[in-house]
């Protein structure tokens, strides 16, 4: 199992607040993504997170027709993306912590993080924590509203955020977040050109294999979320 995020090229993001049938979960697992990330924009607590983790880890739900007596564990790493410190549970391979770099609210840059560290410092395993520098670029997305992101900006501003992530903050990940809509490849390619040590993640609106190919050629890592719930198959091979 590769728990080093630097080796991940294709990620599936599952939202604990959204219903997902066993059949669909099994189909998604068969895509062979490099990692599964559990995360969303709220509407769930630690119990929903734990239940989804348990379902994701099993190859077949216990008692399902044709399921092995002892369900086999999934070999794919599973990470939790923390957007609410109250919705955290143990057992994940990695914990991803978003900083919304283009938020107008300091809480989304580091305030919530400071409060969570103050409360949970004794139980945090820092070896499993990785920071993501988010640049939220779809103004209509829930994450943009929640975080007060200044989502409408030109390519030069986005590129400056990418440089800031790499050179000022030394972040491991710069995440171009177009959640819900397919972003312009020219933005991704402009950011690609200025990043070297910070890895570039792209997420947003990938529904087809052609879109997955296009963004995978520009970003280090691509993330698929909504497609899981809409019945699309951007990572499928059949």
Using rule CB under 6 A, residue 13 touches ligand 1GP: yes
Using rule CB under 6 A, residue 103 touches ligand 1GP: no
Map the footprint of ligand 1GP across residues 42-81, applying CB under 6 A.
none
x/- letters, 120..159, toward ligand 1GP (CB under 6 A) = ----------------------------------------
Query: Which one among 12, 212, 219, 227 touches ligand 1GP, defined by CB under 6 A?
Result: 227
Contact between 122 and 163 (Cβ < 8 Å): no
Using rule CB under 6 A, residue 98 touches ligand 1GP: no
Contact between 108 and 147 (Cβ < 8 Å): yes
Nearer to ligand 1GP, 61 or 229 (CB): 229
Q: Which residue has the tokens 């923390």?
A: 82
Query: Which one among 78, 203, 211, 220 touches ligand 1GP, defined by CB under 6 A?
Result: 203
Q: Which residues bind ligand 1GP (CB under 6 A)?
A: 13, 177, 179-180, 203-206, 223-227
């Amino acid at each position: 199992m590769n728990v080093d995020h630097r080796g991940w090229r294709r990620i599936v993001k599952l939202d604990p607040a959204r219903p997902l049938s066993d059949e669909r979960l099994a189909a998604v697992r068969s895509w062979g993504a490099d990692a599964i990330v559990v995360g969303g924009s709220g509407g769930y607590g630690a119990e929903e997170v734990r239940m989804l983790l348990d379902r994701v880890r099993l190859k077949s739900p216990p008692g399902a027709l044709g399921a092995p007596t002892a369900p086999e564990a999934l070999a794919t790493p599973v990470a939790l993306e923390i957007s609410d410190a109250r919705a955290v549970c143990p057992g994940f391979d990695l914990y991803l912590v978003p900083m919304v770099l283009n938020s107008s609210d300091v809480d989304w840059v580091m305030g919530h993080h400071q409060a969570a560290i103050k409360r949970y410092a004794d139980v945090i395993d820092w070896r499993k924590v990785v920071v993501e520098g988010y640049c939220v670029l779809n103004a209509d997305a829930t994450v943009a509203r929640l975080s007060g992101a200044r989502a409408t900006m030109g390519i030069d501003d986005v590129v400056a955020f990418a440089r800031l992530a790499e050179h000022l903050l030394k972040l491991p990940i710069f995440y171009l977040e177009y959640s819900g809509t397919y972003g312009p490849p020219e933005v991704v390619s402009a950011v690609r050109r200025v990043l070297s040590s910070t890895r570039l993640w792209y997420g947003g609106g990938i529904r087809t294999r052609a879109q997955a190919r296009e963004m995978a050629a520009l970003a280090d890592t691509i993330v698929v979320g909504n497609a899981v719930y809409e019945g699309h198959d951007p990572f499928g091979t059949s």
